[in-house]
Amino acid sequence: MDKKNKITFFSHSLVWLVLFSIPYILSYGQEQNINRVIAHFWIPVLFYAVIFYTNYFVLIDKYLFKKETLLFILINALIIAVCITAKEQIEGNVFADLSIPKNSDGNGPPLKMMIYVQMFSYLAPLLFSIAVKTTKRWVKAETERKEAANFKLQSELQHLHYQLQPHFFFNSLNNIYAMVDISPEKAKTSIHSLSKLMRYMLYETNVEEVSLTKEIEFMSKYIELMKLRVSEKTIVNYSFPKDGSSIKIAPLLFISLIENAFKHGVSASQDSTIDITMTLEDNKVMFITKNNNFPKNTQDKSGSGIGLQNLEKRLQLLYAGKYKFNTKVENEYFNVNLELETV
């Protein structure tokens, strides 16, 4: 018996134990007629248990949940009729000495009224079993739905993660390729730096969250790699918190924004500036990039164009309701603001 079944067993046992104890609890300190307690309380409770568990374990699953409602009602009507008849027989034969209270005119309660009252009392365990079973089924269905949604979420995140790696690698190789003829030494250094970055992406980011400090270290190395490619016409400024070890964050969230800044913020003929800033405020991470806006034409193949789309999908999946993300062009500068709540 697993833990869940043990809890169910003990909870049901406790309920029935309380029910069987009620006559003693209500009449504590008073003289009790044990035969009357058995006849008018224990025996009905036993029949209630029969109705409850017959429905709970058999009838509800077999008939009610399979839309055979009429058959379900007929079977329960038969069970209730059998229980009422059996109870009357037991009381009449075993507890015949227990007289039914008389009215002032000497007559007992009408037979039909007694039967109706008993029928309604026997409907209680039936309705209760339906309510418990339906609730249990709903909880199970909701749990399965959440598990399916979580599996879908993890699958989609994994897909986006795998999509990001070749995209990043593709952009980095393009940058190194552009340096091969101009500066072979820089290209050589860049390949070495890229190998370190790829090692991090391949072996340390296959988790739900990483330390912000590691992400900052990764981004700093990537920016230094990108600075090797740009000319003196481009000024690159970046600022990161010195310590982010206390904050956990989804890996590789900001790299697309940095890639985008270098892709669209650098010109071969004009001066340009790229500013990258990250600040912390309690459990919030604010990330801002600002760069000159040099939109690439459709023939430019320096990137696959999936970076920001990938980022927005990941934000929706991982930080729904906990992030603010906006981009705008202002005074010939492209501005990106991303704010995340990490708890």
pLDDT in tens, 163-183: 556 666 777 777 777 777 777
DSSP letter at 33?
-
CA 51 vs CA 39, 130, 136, 149: distances in Å: 18, 11, 18, 37
User: So what's the pLDDT on residue 303?
Assistant: 45
Secondary structure percentages of the chain, helix, strand, coil, to 5: 60, 15, 25
In percent, the amount of the chain with pLDDT more than 90 equals 25
**Binning pLDDT at 50, 70 and 90, where does residue 304 land?**
very low
Q: Specify the range with the lowest mean pLDDT, choosing from 57-71, 151-165, 180-194.
A: 151-165
User: So what's the pLDDT on residue 71?
Assistant: 95
Residue 291, pLDDT above cutoff 90? yes
Residue 275, pLDDT above cutoff 90? yes
Q: Which residues contact 131 (CB under 8 A, 6 or more apart)?
A: none
Beta bridge partners of 335: 290, 328
**CATH homologous superfamily, domain 150-341:** Histidine kinase-like ATPase, C-terminal domain (3.30.565.10)
Look at the chain and count its residues.
Answer: 343
**What are the residue boundaries of the structural domains of the chain, listed by start?**
3-146, 150-341
The pLDDT of 28-40, averaged and rounded, is 68
User: So what's the pLDDT on residue 267?
Assistant: 86
**Binning pLDDT at 50, 70 and 90, where does residue 77 land?**
very high
User: So what's the pLDDT on residue 301?
Assistant: 44
User: So what's the pLDDT on residue 102?
Assistant: 46
Strand 272-281 and strand 234-239: pairing? parallel
Instruction: Give 267: exposed, middle or buried? Use CB within 10 Å, 0-12, 13-18, 19+.
Output: middle
Q: Which of 189-203, 269-283, 308-322 has the highest mean pLDDT?
A: 269-283
CA 80-86-87 angle, to 5 degrees, is 90
The pLDDT of 321-337, averaged and rounded, is 92
| Distant-in-sequence contacts of 88-96, Cβ < 8 A, 24+ apart | 90/39, 90/43, 91/39, 91/43, 94/39, 95/35, 95/36, 95/38, 95/39
Residue 197, pLDDT above cutoff 70? yes
CA 195-197-202 angle, to 5 degrees, is 90
**Binning pLDDT at 50, 70 and 90, where does residue 117 land?**
low
Q: Specify the range with the lowest mean pLDDT, choosing from 253-257, 287-291, 293-297.
A: 293-297
CA 168 vs CA 197, 236, 248, 252: distances in Å: 10, 20, 22, 10
